[in-house]
A and B are shown apart, each in its own frame.
Chain A
Amino acid sequence: MTAVEHEAVQHESEIAGTTIFDGRQARRGYALNKMCYSFNEAANREAFLRDEDAYCARYGLDAEQREAIRHRDVLELIAAGGNAYYLAKFAGIFGLDMQDIGAQQTGMTKEQFQDKLAQAGR
């Protein structure tokens, strides 16, 4: 195993269900995150909705990132290098809130996920 692979294994197994956004992920996800960062501006959100293929091509997304965007799948987006703070702006285009996103990633309904959060306070 190379040092890089060893590091990769380590940081996936370190905290279950958690990807640490480190230099490896930051390099992997640069194009994807740059596109998501552009969604701070309403005109860019509209341009994405008008022609998603052209918008993704403009930012040079790779095939895995393009598929993850197509699927609106947060776990796939993270695997493709996406960072939570920038991905939140992508989710915002579709009016999804953090419980929608949490539910999607944990395979729960939104109500189940909200209940999980409430339970944590008891």
Chain B
Amino acid sequence: MARIAGAITTSHVPAIGRAIADGVQEDPYWRPFFEGFPPAREWLAAKRPDVVVVVYNDHGLNFFLDKMPTFAVGAADEYRSADEGWGIPVAPPLPGDAALSWHLIESLVAEEFDLTTCQEMLVDHAVTVPMALLWPGTGPCPVRIVPVCVNTVQFPLPSASRCYKLGEAIGRAIESYEEDLNVVVLGTGGLSHQLDGKRAGFINKEFDLRFMDSLIEDPEWATQYSSRELVALTGTQGVELLMWLVARATLPGPARKVWSRYHIPISNTASGLMVMERAA
């Protein structure tokens, strides 16, 4: 049977992709961010996942407002990226696991999550940047991915409570898969930041730290907030923390913090990183 080894949650700013491309990881601006990742990579090396379920939000590469799914699951053997408009080098394709994707789809729809399924799906920096941080270098990617996209572009967004339930259902789906796979769930986005409006530059360190703690101490804590309340607390793009909630919720029962890191700012964003594993 498949088993979830743990979850990693991280920010996914495009500027990180540019920093990797430019090789400036050791610059004073970037070092505090990049030096958070070796412990996460060591944990992955010990856990040796076969598949990573990547929970992320698209930023207008694959989905436009003509068709905007609330939850979408990739069901392809390969996921390509593409130019997002900023001239950052396009990341190489990532291998998929279509069989596991369809198992997730069957299981989630049976649990009344009415998904959009995507046999073709371009993945943007929200997938490729965290994958490059966790598996750096130019060699072939050693894990297969199943991308799960959550709408944070257009309100109404799925509520934090609904995202938590989605995560729980993904966890049950993975652990009911009969193939003997080691799975890690990766949630990417946040933490607090706001790109648009006169409130641009808004960051809420106190909330972010409380939220990170809550994933261990009281994982459903953030589900008390509506999406609009989360915008007020974390910024218009800070709501991407919904991906962290989905990822955490895939771990059944209590979780143990393996590693965490929080640093302000990366670009306009409070960057966070957490590695969690099942406590039991």
Contacts and interface: CB of A to CB of B under 8 A. Distances in A.
To the question of whether A and B form a pair in one complex, the answer is: yes
Interface of A: 14-23, 26, 30, 33-34, 36-37, 39-42, 45, 74-75, 78, 83-89, 92-93, 97-99, 101-102, 105-106, 113, 116-118, 120-121
Given A18-B197, A101-B200, 5 more contacts: A16-B198, A19-B196, A23-B154, A75-B198, A78-B196
28 contacts: A14-B232, A16-B198, A17-B200, A20-B155, A20-B236, A21-B154, A21-B236, A33-B65, A34-B65, A37-B60, A42-B83, A45-B85, A75-B197, A83-B60, A84-B237, A86-B60, A89-B84, A92-B85, A98-B15, A101-B200, A105-B197, A118-B264, A120-B201, A120-B203, A120-B205, A121-B263, A121-B264, A121-B270
A37 B238 CA distance: 22
A34 B198 CA distance: 24
B85 A99 contact: no
A105 B265 contact: no
Given A92-B87, A98-B268, A117-B265, A15 B199 contact: yes
A92 B60 contact: no
A5 to B, nearest CB: 18
Interface of B: 15, 59-61, 64-66, 82-87, 153-156, 194-201, 203, 205, 228, 231-232, 236-237, 263-265, 267-268, 270
A99 B198 CA distance: 13
Given A117-B201, A121-B205, A102 B86 contact: no
B51 to A, nearest CB: 28
A120 B265 contact: yes
Contacts of B86: 88-89, 92
A92 B263 CA distance: 25
Contacts, number: 130
B153 A85 contact: yes
A96 B268 CA distance: 13
A39 B85 contact: yes
A17 B60 contact: no
B230 to A, nearest CB: 11
Given A21-B154, A98-B15, A84 B195 contact: yes
A37 B197 contact: no
Contacts of A17: 197-200
Contacts of B83: 40-42
